[in-house]
């Protein structure tokens, strides 16, 4: 059986590199990203893997979209082996003068998005774990969670929150075998 991963932010950066690596290693990948045009470019770049690559538009800040996308995934795959959350945004600026909308965007993508995706993916990960297969959640944080810089307060705060969220998820999911 081929291992299956859902990857957010899969159309660029770390997400695209992760998608490429897993495809090279024989995984089936469901690539999620907010940008349809970047997903199309990723499909073209990774066309050698078309039989194991599915791309779906997903705004990780939208609970409705995340639930809908994971329902689509479930309709094709009764279980998955990994959720890898790479979607992220960086907005720089002093906290004192940062627009509320910018602050909210950083936290919504970097912290809320991974939580929404983990919550939606757990019903697909638990069956894999119960069957003795790998079942993993990987949430990408940043050194900024530990070493904030002037002008990076919202980003640092979102990544520190994500790091703690990862620890809590690990404790809550351990008994089900999802690591």
Q: Which residues are catalytic?
A: 155
Distance CA 112, CA 60 (A): 8
Distance CA 158, CA 160 (A): 6
Distance CA 38, CA 44 (A): 10
**What is the C-alpha R_g of the chain?**
16
Write out the DSSP string of 68-112: HHHHHHHHH-S--SEEEE-------S-TTT--HHHHHHHHIIIII
């Amino acid at each position: 059986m081929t291992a299956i991963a859902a990857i957010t932010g899969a159309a660029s950066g770390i997400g695209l590199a992760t998608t490429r690596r897993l495809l090279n290693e024989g995984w089936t990948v469901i690539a999620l990203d907010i940008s349809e045009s970047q997903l199309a470019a990723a499909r073209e770049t990774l066309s050698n893997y078309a039989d194991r690559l599915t791309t779906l538009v997903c705004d990780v800040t939208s609970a409705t979209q995340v639930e809908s996308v994971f329902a689509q995934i479930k309709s094709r795959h009764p279980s998955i082996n990994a959720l890898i959350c790479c979607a992220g945004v960086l907005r720089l600026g002093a906290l004192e003068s940062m627009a509320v909308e910018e602050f909210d965007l950083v936290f919504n993508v970097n912290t809320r998005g991974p939580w929404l995706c983990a919550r939606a993916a757990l019903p697909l990960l638990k069956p894999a774990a119960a069957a003795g297969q790998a079942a993993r959640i990987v949430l990408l944080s940043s050194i900024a969670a530990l070493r904030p810089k002037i002008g990076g307060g919202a980003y640092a705060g979102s990544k520190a929150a994500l790091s703690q969220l990862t620890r809590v998820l690990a404790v809550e999911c351990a008994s089900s075998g999802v690591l």
